[in-house]
Amino acid sequence: MQAGKLNRRVTILRKSGARSPSGQPLPDSWTELGKAWASIAFASGLQTIKGDGEVSLARASIRLRYRADVLAGMRVQHGLITYQIHAVLPDERGREYVDLVCEVIA
């Protein structure tokens, strides 16, 4: 893998498991798993109507160096954009990279 193609610094986020004082899990509580260099490519974009309002959907592919601790359901943050990870596609043969199938969170 050529390091020059990994030109975006991203933060990988996971659910923190934080709880309210009453013991209930907090719904939108995320903590940093780590930082990584990545390449980001937008695969598609779509504008649709959902709930009587227009919604934009953008799908992206994010490639990182190989790591086994990234799972579907986690998030990737790059600047002001947050991506929801839908699938993790590791390079099991060469163990050089991991491709993440993501959607931009609006």
Tokens standing for residue 54: 């227009």
Backbone angles phi, psi at 97, to 5 degrees: -145, 170
**How many domains does the chain fold into?**
1
Rounded CA separation 79/85 (Å):
16
Q: What is the pLDDT along the chain (106 residues), one digit of tens a residue?
A: 555 789 999 999 999 877 778 877 777 789 999 999 999 998 766 665 555 666 677 889 999 999 999 999 999 999 999 999 999 999 989 999 999 999 998 6
Domain that holds residue 26: 3-104
Rounded CA separation 47/57 (Å):
6
pTM score, two decimals? 0.81
CATH of the domain at 97: 2.40.10.270
Give the model's pLDDT for residue 3.
59
